[in-house]
Amino acid sequence: MTGILLQPPPPASASYIGRFAPSPSGPLHFGSLVTALASYLDAKAHQGRWLVRMEDLDPPREQPGAADSILRSLDTHGLHWDGEVLYQSQRVDVYQAQLDTLIQAGLAYPCNCSRQRLQNLGGSYDGHCRLHPPASHTAIAWRLKLYDLPYGFALPETIGFTDVIQGVQAQGLRIAAGDQILKRRDGFYAYQLAVVVDDIAQGITHIIRGADLLAVTGRQIAFFLLLGQPAPTFGHLPLALQPNGQKLSKQNQAPALVDTQAAQNLWQALHFLGQNPPVDLRTSHCEELLSWAVAHWQRTAIHGLGHCHKPE
């Protein structure tokens, strides 16, 4: 099947469920506050619910205490979530069950390609193990087929979607994405599996997150479609960069937010998002800033992918 699939916009009456899904690899920093705040404001401005999901599926990259510290910071900034926090570490049975179903449907297959071989491919997997299945005793990863699917399944070659911040996107599945890892060779479930399974389980309708995930959105939409589910609406925020142009992230030791300056942090994050709180709110508490921001939230004020620096 060829062509571009454009997702129709969801009906205006559809209820809104958004989420913030941090990985606990370090404390909340300015970049993750921007993501939390934007996803919160977009949900609340649409009378929606805002959930928090802890993506603690990758212990080697996690920092002890980071999950609690992130939740404490959200609370201190007045970003109160609806319902219980969902911890991915408690859902491995659900991920395994989904993987088993995909294997039975012929949509998932084992791969034992070496790290070296994958590196030489430079990004997108070439489907080698579809034709050369690994011997059963070797350590294997599991991959999801995104093209040349078994009988009864179909995906377009290119996924088209309208990002509510970045505009119209088209992402190829075979060349740009390639078959995706569902379970790693070390036994951990992959982000690409858990994120879609959980967005479906939690009924997420809108995903506002950092632009570092824009490039993987097409393959995630494809996964929703394979599972027979409508894809949510996506919006990707510009990334907060350090003055040297590097992404502000936990991996490169972005400084933790100072919780005693929560209102100032929110003020800066609102500016970063192009929202323009009036100066007389400059010394307000978090609650007042947030209620102004919900009432005045404008997606169109967010500038695109550009090189936005954290304001001083």
Q: Which residues bind ligand GLU (CB under 6 A)?
A: 21-23, 55, 195, 209, 213
Please state the closest distance from residue 217 (CB atom) to ligand GLU, in A.
9
Of ligand GLU, Zn ion, none, which one sits near residue 23, judging by CB under 5 to 8 A according to partner kind? ligand GLU
Q: Which is nearer to Zn ion, 41 or 113 (CB)?
A: 113
User: Out of 66, 129, 248, 266, which residue is the one contacting Zn ion (CB under 5 A)?
Assistant: 129
Q: Is 113 in the site for Zn ion (CB under 5 A)?
A: yes
Please state the closest distance from residue 143 (CB atom) to Zn ion, in A.
7
Of Zn ion, ligand GLU, none, which one sits near residue 72, judging by CB under 5 to 8 A according to partner kind? none
Q: Which is nearer to ligand GLU, 195 or 293 (CB)?
A: 195
Q: Which stretch binds Zn ion (CB under 5 A): 47-55, 94-102, 109-117, 236-244?
A: 109-117
Of ligand GLU, Zn ion, none, which one sits near residue 140, judging by CB under 5 to 8 A according to partner kind? none
Of ligand GLU, Zn ion, none, which one sits near residue 239, judging by CB under 5 to 8 A according to partner kind? none
Please state the closest distance from residue 258 (CB atom) to Zn ion, in A.
46
Q: Which is nearer to ligand GLU, 213 or 294 (CB)?
A: 213
- 33 close to 77: Cβ distance less than 8 angstroms: yes
Residue 55 is assigned to a ligand binding site: yes
Q: Give CA–CA dist 109/58, Å, rounded.
A: 22
Phi and psi dihedrals of 90, rounded to 5? Answer: -95, 5
Residues in the chain: 312
Q: Give CA–CA dist 98/41, Å, rounded.
A: 32
- 173 close to 166: Cβ distance less than 8 angstroms: no
Name the residue among 81, 66, 83, 82 with its Cα closest to residue 22: 66
Q: Which is nearer to ligand GLU, 113 or 164 (CB)?
A: 164
Q: Is 182 in the site for Zn ion (CB under 5 A)?
A: no
Residue 125 is assigned to a ligand binding site: yes
Of ligand GLU, Zn ion, none, which one sits near residue 221, judging by CB under 5 to 8 A according to partner kind? none
Alpha helices in the chain (DSSP H): 30-45, 66-76, 92-104, 115-121, 128-131, 191-201, 217-226, 262-272, 286-296
Q: Which is nearer to ligand GLU, 109 or 272 (CB)?
A: 272
Q: Give CA–CA dist 115/109, Å, rounded.
A: 17
Q: Is 144 in the site for Zn ion (CB under 5 A)?
A: no
- Cβ neighbours, 10 Å, residue 291: 13
Q: Give CA–CA dist 91/94, Å, rounded.
A: 5
- 42 close to 74: Cβ distance less than 8 angstroms: no
Between helices 286-296 and 30-45, what is the axis angle to 10°?
60
Q: What angle do CA 17, 176, 186 make, to 5 degrees?
A: 75
User: Out of 46, 72, 128, 130, which residue is the one contacting Zn ion (CB under 5 A)?
Assistant: 128
Query: Dmax over Cα atoms in the chain, in whole Å?
Result: 68
Which residues are annotated binding-site positions? 19-23, 55, 111, 113, 125, 129, 191, 209, 250
Which residues sit in the known binding site for L-glutamate? 19-23, 55, 191, 209
Binding site for Zn ion (CB under 5 A): 111, 113, 128-129
